[in-house]
């Protein structure tokens, strides 16, 4: 018995075909691409673009988006190889179980739960803010004390966020294909509005606002105490503003606008042709979103000089500054539609991760039983939905945002490391997609993820350690004892890592 035992690829594929745990394969490459776009494009395109331009890079923020997309693309290549080789629910958790051993797989699964449940909660809160703004702009309103409040304390209810989560959990419970039909419609609305903003904004672009395209270096962004980045506390390295180093700092900020493409891998068991369609969905959604981000960045910095951009509502204020305040209503509507798809996608992703972990016995197996009518794990959907609803309704806005990032970066790093490990251990495995220049690119992707995680605050790292302690306690008191692999179903000791 060992915490480093692995679950073979063959056993993972066999479990996916078990009648009690079998999900319906109904998703096409288009479904998966839309799924990825739905989760990647959210609040980032409406606010983060302006913030990065105003505070870090000026018009040079377009280079920051390209750098961040390249970094994210390295991790995306690793996910694409794994997803096409091991088309099973669970994403990074399943990949790690096959390569790095059970304990590390549990850790990464625990990280993914953190990323997706908190991510859905935080975005639901952002959605509620845009909803209230939209209602006010069209002459309606929302009761005070029951909506988003920047000064809210723990326990003050946000009923708007609760309403969204309840509706989406009900939709996800019905079925994956039905959920993605709604997602397709909302993503279409979101992309239409983003394209409208780009095209309309081009008429108000002034070439003088691009001069200088890369503003001169202005100084450092410093923090104190537990609010400072870990890299600043440990090595004395402080983020820079403007200049070439400012673009690098901006890339660290906008990197998180791309988080979400990994959720596509959680639907591997529901793809009609996973070996072909999963790589297309993962990489395709990332490419499309990069083009949209760069275009929006060019329009915003061309409409308004970078040092006059409102970092909180860049798109709306940009049109207001050129006399088109009526567009703010349209932008708010686009944000409501856009953030709805993000929340729904993260709910689906978190349910599929918990489903995979429960099916392996690290959480109660009974949770993983699939309803034969809907083809979905209803018990897990309701439990995960209840957790998201509680956090989104009663947690103050902004308290746990960085926790989403640290869980994601940890998952990216471990998946990147696992690619060359699996190639060495299972060279016979069929791979319809391969990361080029392995192991160099996977190791580079892992190093980039580690660097970006070091830019998160000490406070975030402390909270992450608490989350990890809770995870280890659950694993050693329940998961280790009840693991189906550990009970003799399929145990292969992991070899030491040699790359």
> How far lies 280's CA from each of 5, 97, 116, 143, 181, in Å?
32, 24, 22, 44, 19
For residue 438 the two structure tokens come to 């392995």
47 contacts 312 by C-beta, under 8 angstroms: yes
- pLDDT, residue 43, reads 61
For residue 247 the two structure tokens come to 């673009």
pLDDT digits (tens, 9 = 90+) for 376-404: 788 999 999 999 999 988 887 556 667 77
- pLDDT, residue 272, reads 79
What is the set of domains in the chain, with CATH numbers? 26-484 (1.20.1740.10)
| Residues of the chain scoring pLDDT < 70 | 1, 20-21, 43-44, 46-47, 89, 145-155, 177, 219-223, 312-313, 316, 397-401, 489-499
| Distance, C-alpha 246 to centroid of its chain | 24
DSSP state of 433: S
- pLDDT, residue 493, reads 39
- The runs of H, that is alpha helices, within 86-175 are 92-99, 102-137, 159-174
45 contacts 292 by C-beta, under 8 angstroms: yes
- pLDDT, residue 32, reads 82
404 contacts 122 by C-beta, under 8 angstroms: yes
493 DSSP β-pair partners: 5
For residue 365 the two structure tokens come to 């197996």
309 contacts 318 by C-beta, under 8 angstroms: yes
Q: What is the pTM of this model?
A: 0.82
Burial class (CB in 10 A: 0-12, 13-18, 19+), 45: buried
Q: How many Cβ atoms from other residues are within 10 Å of residue 235's Cβ?
A: 10
> How far lies 382's CA from each of 93, 320, 367, 467, in Å?
21, 42, 10, 22
- pLDDT, residue 479, reads 92
- pLDDT, residue 160, reads 87
């Amino acid at each position: 018995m060992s915490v480093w035992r692995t679950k073979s690829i063959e056993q993972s594929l066999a479990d996916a075909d078990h009648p009690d745990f079998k999900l319906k394969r109904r998703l096409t490459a288009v479904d998966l691409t839309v799924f990825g776009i739905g989760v990647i494009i959210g609040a980032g395109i409406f606010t983060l673009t302006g913030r990065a331009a105003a505070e870090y890079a000026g018009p040079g923020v377009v280079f920051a988006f390209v750098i961040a997309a390249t970094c994210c693309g390295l991790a995306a290549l690793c996910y694409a190889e794994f997803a096409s080789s091991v088309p099973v629910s669970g994403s990074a958790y399943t990949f790690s179980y096959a390569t790095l051993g059970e304990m590390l797989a549990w850790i990464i699964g625990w990280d993914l739960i953190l990323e997706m449940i908190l991510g859905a909660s935080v975005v639901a809160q952002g959605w509620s803010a845009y909803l209230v703004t939209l209602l006010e702009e069209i002459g309606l309103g929302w009761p005070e004390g029951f909506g988003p409040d920047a000064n809210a304390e723990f326990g003050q209810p946000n009923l708007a966020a609760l309403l969204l989560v309840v509706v989406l959990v009900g939709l996800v419970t019905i079925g994956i294909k039905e959920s993605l039909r709604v997602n397709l419609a909302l993503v279409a609305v979101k992309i239409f509005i983003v394209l409208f903003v780009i095209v309309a904004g081009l008429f108000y672009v002034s070439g003088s606002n691009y001069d200088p395209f890369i503003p001169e270096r202005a100084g450092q962004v410093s923090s104190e105490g537990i609010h400072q980045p870990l890299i600043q506390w440990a090595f004395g390295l402080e983020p820079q503003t403007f200049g070439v180093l400012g673009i690098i700092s901006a890339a660290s900020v906008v990197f998180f606008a791309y988080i979400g493409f990994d959720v596509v891998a959680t639907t591997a068991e529901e793809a009609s042709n996973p070996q072909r369609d999963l790589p297309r969905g993962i990489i395709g959604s990332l490419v499309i979103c990069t083009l949209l981000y760069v275009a929006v960045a060019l329009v915003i910095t061309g409409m308004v000089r970078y040092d006059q951009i409102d970092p909180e509502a860049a798109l709306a204020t940009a049109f207001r500054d050129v006399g088109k305040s009526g567009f703010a209503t349209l932008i708010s509507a686009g944000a409501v539609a856009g953030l709805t798809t993000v929340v729904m996608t993260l709910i689906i992703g978190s349910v599929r991760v918990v489903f995979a972990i429960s099916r392996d016995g690290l959480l109660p197996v009974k949770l993983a039983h699939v309803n034969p009518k809907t083809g979905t794990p209803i018990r897990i959907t309701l439990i995960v939905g209840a957790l998201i609803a509680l956090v989104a309704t009663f947690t103050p806005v902004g308290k746990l945002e960085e926790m989403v990032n640290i869980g994601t970066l940890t998952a990216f790093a471990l998946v990147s490391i696992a690619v060359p490990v699996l190639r060495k251990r299972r060279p016979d495995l069929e791979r319809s997609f391969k990361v080029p220049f392995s192991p160099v690119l996977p190791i580079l992707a892992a190093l980039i993820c580690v660097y970006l995680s070091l830019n998160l605050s000490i406070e975030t790292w402390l909270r992450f350690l608490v989350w990890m302690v809770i995870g280890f306690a659950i694993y050693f008191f329940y998961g280790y004892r009840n693991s189906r692999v550990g009970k003799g179903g399929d145990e292969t000791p992991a070899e030491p890592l040699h790359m």
